[in-house]
Structure 1
Amino acid sequence: MHGPDLVSWLLAVLTAVSGGYCLSRLRHAPCSPAEGAPTGSTRADGTTTVRRRWRDHESDLAEGLMGCGMAAMAVTGTAVPGEVWAWVYGPPAVLLLLAAARRPDRRAHRLHHAVGALAMTYMALVMAAGSGHSGHHAAADSPALTGALLAYFGGYALWSGSRLLSTSGGTVPTSGGTVPVASAGLTKACRLSVVIGMFAMLLTM
């Protein structure tokens, strides 16, 4: 990634903290519902508590790995070959796309994470080409694809940010029942930070 060192370090700190928080949420077993939400209870949308907690864990894992990966990529730059990052994020992107096709109830979440993994793979390939000849870099860097990814993550950040700001006092429903807005807001803020980090990395290409 190009740009001032200070920007790279700030981006690394932001994404590392956000990714670390998402990964820390995995310590709660998905089959152990929160107090007041019995195992197997069904919500109004027809999904059970355990099934929703598995979906939340899947999101936490994907976003945690994405955030930590962006932090490592921002700090190491070209020290780690771009091909390595491509192999780290390429296969999960394919698996997420296949999983999204199989489960309609999780399609939106998995497609979002697949786009994130594909964006990481794309940036890694551009980095790999950029460390070689300039002609190869031009061939790997597609302005149209970069613009499309910027539009997606920029739009997603605005949508997610508006939802976060519209949340007021009380409790909000989650996979484990209801939790205070402060706790749910922190989770949404960390996930929003990962998206903003992705947008910033695409801008510095």
Structure 2
Amino acid sequence: MPGPVSAAWLLVALCAATGAYCLLRMRSGVEEQRRAAGGEALMGFGMAVMAVPAAVFTPPRWAWPLYAAVFGAAALRALWAARAAPHHLHHLVGAAAMVYMSVAMAAAPPGAHHAHGGSGMPLLTGALLLYFAGYVLLTGARLVPAAGPGRAPSAPAPGPGAAVGAGGRPLGWGDRPELARACRLSMGIGMVAMLLTM
């Protein structure tokens, strides 16, 4: 990834931490939560590897087609899952963006794998940037507690185990929807940062 090395390492850390949290979410008792968390973990770790500065690690040329194949399979899985649950369309767009960036890296001249430039597809880059920027803004707005006229701001939850799910059972910290949204927000920010370098 081009740009300041410190910014690239911050992006690596953000994506790797998000991927690690998603792995922990895979321990959820809710099957749909586990399935979504698995795809998000793959995305987080994939983005972390792709964001490593070129001065530290430049993948071999054969790695990019392999990367595209892995995320192509993830895109097909998300497309299949979207038939029953439309929120998987976001996973489809994310996986497709990873395929696109992998193809751009594979097409780049040797030694310029992290330069992204010259891919010849600026319209697609712009469309993906608009999508992820909008997603980041929308998800960020959903994380802010709403306090309308005549309503007091909601008090913060007393602790990670205090949230209550269906049936009155307390939710584990891996099942809390606001943490899952924060995870997706982090990956959306990372995707915007990566697409800006294309």
**What TM-score, normalized to structure 2?**
0.77
Is 1:89–1:120's contact at 8 Å kept on the other side of the alignment?
Answer: yes
Is 1:89–1:121's contact at 8 Å kept on the other side of the alignment?
Answer: yes
Is 2:2–2:53's contact at 8 Å kept on the other side of the alignment?
Answer: no
Alignment-derived partner of residue 67 in structure 1: 44
One-letter identity of the residue aligned with 2:11: L
Quick one: structure 1 residues 190 and 204, their matched pair in 2 at CA, closer, same or farther if it must change by over 3 Å? same
Alignment-derived partner of residue 3 in structure 1: 3
CA distance in 2, matches of 1:23, 1:66: 11
> CA-to-partner distance for each residue in 1:135-160, whole Å, 9 max, x for gaps?
xx74x441111011011110010000
CA distance in 1, matches of 2:44, 2:100: 16
Is 2:72–2:95's contact at 8 Å kept on the other side of the alignment?
Answer: yes
What are the residue-to-residue correspondences of 1:28-107 with 2, within 5 Å? 28=28, 30=29, 53-75=30-52, 77=54, 78-80=58-60, 81-101=63-83, 103=84, 106-107=85-86
Secondary structure at the aligned position of 2:82 is classed as helix
> CA-to-partner distance for each residue in 1:11-51, whole Å, 9 max, x for gaps?
000010011101111123x3xxxxxxxxxxxxxxxxxxxxx
1:191 correspondence with 2:151: no
Q: How many aligned residue pairs are there?
A: 175
CA distance in 1, matches of 2:165, 2:39: 18
> CA-to-partner distance for each residue in 1:98-146, whole Å, 9 max, x for gaps?
3323x1xx12x21110100000000011011113499xx74x4411110
CA distance in 2, matches of 1:98, 1:189: 25
Secondary structure at the aligned position of 2:131 is classed as helix
Unaligned runs of 5+ in 1: 31-52
Whichever structure has more helix as a proportion of its residues is 1
Alignment-derived partner of residue 203 in structure 1: 196
Unaligned runs of 5+ in 2: 147-153
User: Cα RMSD between the aligned structures?
Assistant: 2.8
One-letter identity of the residue aligned with 2:79: L
Is 2:5–2:53's contact at 8 Å kept on the other side of the alignment?
Answer: no
One-letter identity of the residue aligned with 2:43: M
Structure with higher RCO (Cα < 8 A, 6+ apart): 1
Is 2:27–2:34's contact at 8 Å kept on the other side of the alignment?
Answer: no
